[in-house]
Amino acid sequence: MRRFAISALALAARSIAADCNGHAELCDRSYSEVSFVGAHNSPFVGIGPADNQFTSVTKQLDLGVRFLQAQTQEKDGEPEMCHTSCLLEDAGPLTEYLSEIKTWVDGHANEVVTLLITNPDAIDINKYGDAFKSTGFESYVYTPPKKLALNDWPTLGELISSGKRVIVFMDYNMDTSKVPYILDEFAYYFETPFSPTEDNFIQCDIDRPDGAKADDRMYLANHNLNVEILPGVLVPDPLHSAETNSIESITSQTDICMKNYGRYPNVVLRRYDSGPEPTQWVLDPLNAADELETRAYDNDDNQICFFIDIALYRNAPKQHRNIGGFHVRCIQGSDQPHLNQRDIHQV
């Protein structure tokens, strides 16, 4: 059997400090190089057919969500947190939603948070700007100096140090000439298919925007299962949310994404995050992959096994803490294209 391991010196150099979104390792990582847990339709909490979360926005953030997606509709001329229609689901004014997030951000000085707001009714973008101003949230929001290329984004450390550590995107009907910090989602991201069902759940194809290429864009993987109850009528599937949100289910998709694009998704957008395990540690291996490079060995089954620093797994269940403080994940060697031989030493 051939075995490989990273040198003890390199292992000892790993810091357990947690300075940027929970990890010192992420402080020097560009925003566009980090994988975030996302909450789909974050304000819509409950067990009804239009609800997509079990817990409040505050609790979602406490669990590790750092990318909050939300729908708005027009109500009395103002943006309202409504799902499809305010008659179907109304979670209150945009100002209340922003105020709740701002309160959490106020109390977590080393966290970068992203919002993705939809605007299907083409509400005047200044109404959104007014909501950010009236809640005081505008003071946290990052405004790029120009249209940023993929590699132009500041690091998490730079965003936190500047105090501008909230990034805001809108899917359609934004206007950066009027509100420069509400950014065009599809100028910066592509998404995998929206509202996937069991038949097309585990894949990583480009869906939106039309004709997009992966080059120079971040990307969002929709990982939220739906059920077709009538032809063309889809509803969320809360009954299988534990399985859908499991590490096994997420990595089955993100591994395909890595094969397709040579990098992991920037966002894995989920529903029904409720614990009991903190959400963020599910994506920690994605953030660890490039920074840790690969700590690996070949075994008799031709598998590549990754030793992930337990500093990135401090919230992981005990059964994942092994091999002297390192989590181990093994896959077939032929499935992993990005081994970094610099950190691999034969012993």
What is the mean pLDDT of each successive set of 10 residues along the chain, which is 347 residues long?
Answer: 29 43 91 93 87 87 94 97 94 98 97 97 98 98 98 97 98 98 98 76 90 94 75 66 75 91 92 56 56 38 42 36 40 41 29
- Identify the DSSP state of 55: S
pLDDT at site 147: 97
Sheet holding 78-83, edge to edge: 73-75, 78-83, 85-93
Residue 152 burial (10 A CB sphere; 0-12, 13-18, 19+): middle
The tokens describing 77, both together, are 């001329």
- From 40, 240, 320, 345, active-site residue: 40
The CA-atom distances, in angstroms, between 168 and each of 17, 86, 99, 117, 216 are 28, 23, 15, 8, 19
Per the listing, tokens 């305010």 go with: 86
40 catalytic, yes or no?
A: yes
- pLDDT of 197 reads 67
Give the active site residue among 83, 223, 320, 345. Answer: 83
Name the pTM for this structure: 0.77
pLDDT at 284: 61
145 vs 48, 93, 136, 149, 255, CA distance in Å?
42, 30, 21, 12, 34
223 is catalytic: no
